[in-house]
Chain A
Amino acid sequence: EAGVTQFPSHSVIEKGQTVTLRCDPISGHDNLYWYRRVMGKEIKFLLHFVKESKQDESGMPNNRFLAERTGGTYSTLKVQPAELEDSGVYFCASSKGQAPEAFFGQGTRLTVV
């Protein structure tokens, strides 16, 4: 069974540009989470989808970030326009129903220059 897959693995963009990150969860997992780790600090929650609905987006830093999960399968996280402080590693995770453990992807390392 394939794990959580994230694309791209690395992205370097200039300040002001747009970047879209993609996450493919484990098949059948209705919960999908986005997290971010900035500058070696803690891994911070961004948002949580249950199927295609946003269950909790309290961690989204501002309106430059837009997450979607059309059809309840893969998800995208768009940053527009990117700022220097958006640099970090973006993790996606998925879990099934009420199961306690979440499975994480490899992460996307975003560098804004």
Chain B
Amino acid sequence: GDSVTQMEGPVTLSEEAFLTINCTYTATGYPSLFWYVQYPGEGLQLLLKATKADDKGSNKGFEATYRKETTSFHLEKGSVQVSDSAVYFCALRTRSGTYKYIFGTGTRLKVLA
């Protein structure tokens, strides 16, 4: 079945460091891909999305490119801030059947000042 695999955390970085969180997927057809973020004490927020191959989603300095050939959707940010500390979830939405969302396990990011 469809699945999402993302890198294990936690990831600890210094402020202004470069961030990459890897995400790969297995799916039938071409799903839509998402990154959601959960800040401490809050719910899940949509960070960015891409709906077709080679699309680049971007928001708040974060970027991810839908790579069909490697079935990946890695999250990157050039310079992280303390306020980026959160749990990041990679997810896909199937294009057939019931259009449900499938999530990875989440990667906790801690940014130190």
Contacts and interface: CB of A to CB of B under 8 A. Distances in A.
Interface residues of B, number: 24
Contacts of B4: 42
A33 B43 contact: no
Nearest to B41: A106
A31 B76 CA distance: 30
B87 to A, nearest CB: 9
A56 B44 contact: no
Contacts of A55: 98
Contacts of B89: 43
A48 B46 contact: no
Contacts of B74: none
A107 B49 CA distance: 21
- Describe A's contact surface by its main secondary structure: strand
A42 B87 CA distance: 11
Nearest to B36: A104
Contacts of B51: 100
Nearest to B103: A43
B81 interface: no
B45 to A, nearest CB: 7
A91 B34 CA distance: 17
B34 A101 contact: yes
Interface of A: 4, 6, 31, 33, 35, 37, 40-45, 48, 55-56, 59, 91, 93, 100-107
Interface of B: 4, 32, 34, 36, 42-46, 49, 51, 89, 91, 93, 97-106
Given A45-B101, A107-B44, 6 more contacts: A31-B99, A41-B105, A43-B44, A91-B43, A100-B51, A104-B43
